[in-house]
Amino acid sequence: MDPYGTTASELTYALLRPVFPMPFRLTLDGELEPDLARALETTPTGARLVLERREWSNGKAISAHDVVASIRRATPPSGFAAIDRAEVIGSRVVRLVGEVADWERTLATGAFVLPRGRLSGGNVSGGPFEFAAYERGRRLTYAANEGWSDRAYLDEIEVSFVQGTELLIMLLQRGDLDAAWLPSSVNLGDRLDELGIAYASARGTERLIFRSDPATISTASLASIVSKIDLGRLDTSFLRDHGDALPFTRASDPGLPTSVSIAAPEGDELLSLIQRAIRLDLERSDVTVELLSGPVSSLYGAWQQDPPAGILIQRAIVRPLPPRSIPVASLDTFLAWREEVHGMAVNPSLEGPLWNARDWWIEPSI
């Protein structure tokens, strides 16, 4: 859950959205608005940031020291990582140094301010919600931050990890879930329409990527493998209206391996279908293909560091994309909800589904 720790993932950033402030926030239409920032002035060497008077949930002031400490620990994809140097020049004033083209957007990209730059056990919040309970790998519960100036409508939000699109849809249809962050799949919109489930989808920064294990597949070999895949067929057969194949410069054959293993996450319908289609394409080029599948938690967790396959088929939201990866398609981001739920809107970026959780409400709660 530490956004600047070595095991942070895209999900880390999405889950922290209601808990920790950033200097600026992205709205649904892509506009920028101040969050923790009171004023921002560009200077010849960078920018000068003035903070609003805000408090952590423990009553302590959110200070310039918190911002500077967070910047010093930050790593990509946080916008803070683009800053060369940060200095405290007042209790609520920070001097930022660096060559940044768009300061507001940089300070609204995963630029979480933590108490003295640390998670502090997760029991201190600077946003509309605070962590109430955490069951590793299963669920995370938020409670409304009583000290927040603009209190959230809901008292509690529980986020559960569910593996598999079909199971997510079933739980949503039964009312066991109020909302679901669904991975895009073939005919997903039509399936939700047939069930009468409200949803929204939007094209943003989500990408379908092929990521190689440097110990078995070189960058040149990965490019050669992608050059043998019929991306146009993937587009028309699987992505359809909810994705687009991306341009790819075809590589020559010398780097093409004689055999390769390809892993995809269990329960991700779209990626499993694409995995099988890729095997057919590669076998036509006399490449022996072994298909593997594994839990989502492994494919986006431990397998990132120690993959059992030469290539991982994954979804990625962050920019820039992970090293040794090739993006092959852009994908729509889906959010679905029961009709009693109001205020939800899909945000197809690092912000994730909880970007406006403070505005959610359920009939007849208000």
* CA–CA dist 145, 128 (Å, integer): 5
pLDDT > 60? residue 254: no
* Other Cβ atoms closer than 10 A to 281: 18
* CA–CA dist 358, 366 (Å, integer): 13
Query: What's the confidence (pLDDT) of residue 264?
Result: 94
pLDDT > 80? residue 54: yes
What kind and span of H or E run contains 239?
Answer: none
Q: Compute the average pLDDT of residues 101-124.
A: 91
pLDDT band at 318 (very low <50, low <70, confident <90, very high): confident
pLDDT band at 194 (very low <50, low <70, confident <90, very high): very high
pLDDT tens-digit readout, 25-53: 987 677 899 999 999 999 999 999 999 99
Query: What's the confidence (pLDDT) of residue 253?
Result: 58
pLDDT > 60? residue 65: yes
What are the structural domains, with CATH classification, of the chain?
10-121 (3.90.76.10), 139-202+335-362 (3.40.190.10), 204-332 (3.10.105.10)
pLDDT band at 182 (very low <50, low <70, confident <90, very high): very high
pLDDT > 70? residue 252: no
pLDDT band at 136 (very low <50, low <70, confident <90, very high): confident
Q: Compute the average pLDDT of residues 188-211.
A: 93
Query: What's the confidence (pLDDT) of residue 149?
Result: 81
User: When comparing pLDDT for 333 and 120, which is higher?
Assistant: 333
pTM for this predicted structure = 0.88
CA dihedral 35, 39, 40, 43 (to 10 degrees): -160
Query: With contact defined as beta carbons under 8 Å apart, do 325 and 204 qualify?
Result: no
Pull the structure tokens for residue 203.
Answer: 């094209």
**How many Å is the Cα radius of gyration of the chain?**
22
* Other Cβ atoms closer than 10 A to 86: 22
Is residue 146 packed enough to be buried (19+ CB in 10 Å), middle (13-18) or exposed (0-12)? exposed
Query: What's the confidence (pLDDT) of residue 365?
Result: 60
Report the mean per-residue pLDDT for the chain.
Answer: 91
User: When comparing pLDDT for 63 and 247, which is higher?
Assistant: 63
Query: What's the confidence (pLDDT) of residue 122?
Result: 77
Query: What's the confidence (pLDDT) of residue 169?
Result: 94
Query: What's the confidence (pLDDT) of residue 251?
Result: 62
How far is it between the farthest Cα atoms of the chain? Answer: 66
Q: Is the peptide bond before 23 cis (omega within 30 degrees of 0)?
A: no
Count CA atoms closer than 13 A to 85's CA, side-chain side: 4
pLDDT > 70? residue 302: yes
Q: Compute the average pLDDT of residues 82-101.
A: 96
Query: What's the confidence (pLDDT) of residue 257?
Result: 85
Q: Compute the average pLDDT of residues 192-216.
A: 92
pLDDT > 90? residue 90: yes
User: When comparing pLDDT for 250 and 63, which is higher?
Assistant: 63
